[in-house]
Amino acid sequence: MATVSIPACTSALLLDIEGTTTPITFVKDILFPFIKEHLEEYLSTHWEEDECKQDVHLLKKQIEEDMKQNRACPVHAVDQTVHTDEEKAIREVMDNVLWQMAADRKSTALKQLQGHMWRAAYASGRIKGEIYPDVVPSIKRWRAKGLKVFIYSSGSVEAQKLLFGYSVEGDVLDLFDGHFDTSIGPKVDSKSYERIAERIGCQPEEITFLTDVTREAKAAEDVGVNVAVVVRPGNMELTDEERAHYNLLTSFSQLELTGRA
Pairing relation of β-strands 255-257 and 4-6? parallel
Q: 121, 34 in Cβ contact below 8 A?
A: yes
DSSP 238: P
Predicted local distance difference test score (pLDDT) of residue 75: 53
Residues of the chain falling short of pLDDT 50: none
DSSP 129: B
Predicted local distance difference test score (pLDDT) of residue 257: 85
**8 vs 68, 247, 259, CA distance in Å?**
53, 16, 5
Neighbours of 171 (CB within 10 A): 12
Which residues in 199-208 are b (16+ Cβ under 10 Å) and which e?
ebebebebbb
Give 66-93 pLDDT, tens digit per residue.
888 877 666 555 555 555 578 888 998 9
Predicted local distance difference test score (pLDDT) of residue 246: 97
Return the closest-CA partner of residue 24 out of 121, 155, 138.
155
